[in-house]
Structure 1
Amino acid sequence: MIPELFAGLCDDAAVFPPGLAPLPDALTAHDTYKKAWYTGLVGPLVLAAPALDALGDLLGPRETPLAVAVTLPGGPAQLPGVLAAAETLPVDLRALEIAVPEGMGPDELLEAVSAANAPVYVEIPRDERCLPLLRALAGTGHRAKFRTGGVRADLYPGEAELASAIRAAAEAGVPFKATAGLHHALRNTDPETGFEQHGFLNLLLAAGDPGCAETLLAERDGAVVAAAVRELDPDVRARFTSFGTCSISDPLTELAALGLLPRGEA
């Protein structure tokens, strides 16, 4: 059994970098996860809007609709097409992750996503639009999406920047998810690239105590992090809903190594 604290924590982003799994392979693997003992850890399969065009031929008849989260990198203009495509497919649309076009203000964005029939995660830009957007999302039922890494070092926000965003989201009462660069449970330096990478457990701790977020994001000691995670109330997941990962086996294995999941089953 997966503890309540980790339920649905890992959104399956296998088709995105650095994994870049072909869609047929990602579908097969996702179906395998949903039959495994650790299925409770796994959230929806994350796909970019254009991938919906290929799903019809790949899915075929299904007993259970495929749970998906769809990213809209082109912004709200892609929303009508995504909603129409989802209506024709055997999918359960769990979330929409929408980028904010340059020049689009908070009010215009909220109006543009008003037709959404699934939870909307607004990708928060790392610029002066961050705080106004988070404040505008307060009380709307919409959520935030923070990018925590990428293929270049500059795409990784520092601890202070990410901590500030987490505090702002908490103050606004806006839940958030995270995506990109969360390859490990703990804060680390990637040995191949030298990139300073955030740990997904560090984010979980920061969501639980936003006032100490910067310190918690910087902690690299596995024993310290694991001990603090054991003390977390599962209600923290109302703040930090999930993170996208191109590997399900890696977080599963690392949680087991930290004693947070049974070693024998991972």
Structure 2
Amino acid sequence: MTGLFAGLLDDAAIFPPGNAPVPDAVAAYRGRRSWPLVGPFICSLPRWEELRGTLTAGSPLPVALTVPGGAQDVPAALARARAEPRVELAALEVPASAETLDDLVKAADPHVLTYVELPWADVTAATVAALADAGLRLKVRTGGLVATAFPDERQLARVLVTAVQGGVPFKLTAGLHDPIRHRDPATGFEHHGFVNVLLATARVLDGGDVVEALADQDGVRVARAVAGIDDTLAERIRHHFVSFGTCSVTEPVDGLLRLGLLPEDPR
């Protein structure tokens, strides 16, 4: 079961709403790099020099570099990453739209893992096919600081089905600290659960009800269904749903322990 969650959590501690200072976030990341659930550290290109100021000798820091300026800034991002031996470039994450996707395809380096962040409405069979043809991956936003940043279960289900059927691996970002779908009592925002997303991806693969899997707020029922996933299906799920960015790594781990989905505390 642990394999279903291996490398699932990309550390986005410096992004809202966490907003951890870069030195603190890097130090914390290094302290938990050995946790099997933790993926790369996420940094944005505008904060690259802040990140460099924290780097020390030793093992390179695995970094997923977000490029908010889009395709035009990809060459600069690649040049900076390649000039810094204390960083291991795990991936680029670049926003685009259906209209600008061709520009990003041209700017991308085929030797660098690249996630293309598309708006939900732009995740279509055509755009996913273009990503697949170019060897690019999909990134989708599942939350934020306003209600409109959260897709509902039908919108997210359509994204998952389109990505899986199109053969394009995807990652998600924002709003997924908790394993189970819930309404935040402070904001009123309806958050997706990352365990719900794992189950929904399984449903795409096995022909089940994807919307129902995303909408279910019964943690016991969702956890029971996920606990029944065998290793073969788990591998297929994670081939598609690669990871999600979270400004808290401890909250997702706490949630999985609470649901009994981890055999032991990885910390």
Instruction: Give the distance between the partners of 1:5 and 1:20, measured in 2 at CA.
Output: 28
What does residue 246 of structure 2 align with? 245
Equivalent residue number for residue 130 of structure 1: 123
SS of structure 2 residue aligned to 1:58 = coil
- Higher relative contact order, structure no. (Cα contacts within 8 Å, ≥ 6 residues apart): 2
- 1:202 maps to a residue whose letter is N
- Where in structure 2 are the equivalents of 1:1-266 lying within 5 Å? 3-35=2-34, 39-62=35-58, 64-89=59-84, 90-100=86-96, 103-104=99-100, 106-113=101-108, 115=109, 117-127=111-121, 129-131=122-124, 132-210=126-204, 211=207, 212-232=209-229, 233-235=233-235, 236-262=237-263
Distance in 1 (CA, whole Å) between partners of 2:239 and 2:111 is 20
Structure 2 gap segments, 5+ residues each: none
Aligned amino acid, residue 33 of structure 2: K
Question: How many positions carry a matched residue from both structures?
Answer: 258
Q: Which amino acid aligns with 1:49?
A: L
C-alpha separation in 2, matches of 1:163 and 1:176? 13
Matches of 1:141 and 1:227 in 2, distance apart?
A: 35
TM-score scaled by structure 1?
Answer: 0.92
**CA contact 1:75–1:101 (8 Å) conserved in 2:** no
Pairwise CA distance, 1:264 = 5.7
- The SS at the match of 1:191 is coil
CA distance in 1, matches of 2:167, 2:137: 9
Is the contact between residue 64 and residue 92 of structure 2 (CA under 8 Å) also seen in structure 1? yes
Matched residue type, 1:56: R
- Identity of counterpart residues, as a percentage? 44
RMSD, aligned α-carbons: 1.7
**Worse overlay, 66-75 or 225-234:** 225-234
C-alpha contact 1:53 1:85 (8 A) present in aligned 2: no
Deviation at 1:93, TM superposition (A): 0.6
Give me the whole-angstrom Cα distance separating, in 2, the residues matched to 1:58 and 1:156.
33
Task: Extract structure 1 runs of 4+ deviating beyond 4 A.
Answer: 263-266
For 1:150 and 1:75, the matched residues in 2 are separated by 19
* TM superposition shift of 1:265: 5.8
CA distance in 1 between partners of 2:54 and 2:198 (Å): 35
Do 1:257 and 1:263's aligned partners in 2 also have CA atoms closer than 8 Å? no
Q: Which moved more, 1:156-165 or 1:209-218?
A: 209-218
Aligned CA distance change for structure 1 residues 77 and 177 (closer, same or farther; 3 Å): same
**1:157-186 Cα shifts (integer Å, max 9, x gaps):** 010011001000011011110001112100
Matching residue's letter, 1:222:
G
